[in-house]
Amino acid sequence: MAELSAWFDHTFASQQFMAILRGFPADRTVELATRAWSLGLDCVEVPIQTPEAVASLRAAVAAGRERGRRVGAGTVTTVEQVAVAKASGAAFTVAPGLDLEVAHASVGCGLPHLPGVATATEIQEATRHGLRWLKAFPASVYGPSWFSAMSGPFPEVHFVATGGITAHNAADYLTAGVRVVAVGSALADEAQLELLANLLASPPMPSASSRASDPLGERSS
């Protein structure tokens, strides 16, 4: 699975934000995805926990194809959902937790997988199987300090913070050393759009302490 981590290396090489569009009908999903792309968020995830959500994923994939953008499937918790994501044209899969059967199924059909973790044990297990890009959910419950702490023993891991991230607190997580933050509500909130655009134009750098925990200097600035 290690080789497919390179897909995230490439995708997030110059990106510190991604969009998660959960629970929207297909037309609204396409509208918000288009807004994300216009702001410069190239990576869009559409969770597929319901049949209606699968229709939204397919609509976003079609819209992305017209614009040369790739869309991933989120909340992929079963092998069967991996097959649905593949059939729907998803470019990658995301899960709320660490399920190695799901991860292997996804990678096996050519879809890079971003699993969720919440503990040091899960992080260690994920890295043992070559998964270096890991999602932490819900990030707002852990807080920025959790990411700074986990970067100490796991400097090779690139964290994606999701859940409760807004344009108002995204900078705190990036400063703590998070590689990518995922926003959703900010795209649907007109009051946050200008702040989000400013963050995209000039993202904050990791703090000195978080850079020190990354001895290879691989974190993006």
CA-derived radius of gyration, the chain: 16
135 classed as catalytic = yes
Residue 113 has, within 13 A of its CA and on its CB side, a CA count of 35
Catalytic residue among 135, 156, 190, 194: 135
For every residue of 123-170, DSSP letters joined together read HHHHHHTT--EEEETTHHHH-HHHHHHHHTT-TT-EEEE-SS--TTTH
141 CB neighbour count, 10 Å cutoff: 11
* Domain-located, residue 220: no
219 belongs to a structural domain = no
Task: Answer yes or no: is 88 within a domain.
Answer: yes
Helices H, strands E: what count in the chain?
12, 9
Number of domains observed in the structure of the chain: 1
Could you read off the pLDDT tens digit of each residue along the chain, which spans 221 residues?
Answer: 766 688 999 999 989 999 999 999 999 999 999 999 999 999 999 999 999 999 999 999 999 999 999 999 999 999 999 999 999 999 999 999 999 999 999 999 999 999 999 999 999 999 999 999 999 999 999 999 999 999 999 999 999 999 999 999 999 999 999 999 999 989 999 899 999 999 998 888 776 555 444 444 444 33
What order do you get walking across the sheet with 44-47 strand by strand? 113-114, 93-94, 71-74, 44-47, 17-20, 180-183, 158-161, 133-136, 116-117
The pLDDT score that the predictor gives to residue 181 is 97
How far is C-alpha 196 from the geometric centre of its chain's CA atoms?
A: 16
Tokens of 97: 């937790």
Residue 93 belongs to some domain of the structure: yes
Does residue 217 sit within a domain? no
pTM assigned to the model: 0.90
Containing structural domain, residue 149: 2-212
Determine contact, residues 101/79, Cβ cutoff 8 Å.
yes
91 within a domain of the structure (yes/no):
yes
Q: Is residue 218 part of a domain?
A: no
Within a domain: 221: no
Active site residue 45: yes
Quote the CA–CA distance of 62 and 125 in Å, as a whole number. 35
CATH of the domain at 37: 3.20.20.70
Say which of 31, 45, 86, 122 is annotated catalytic. 45
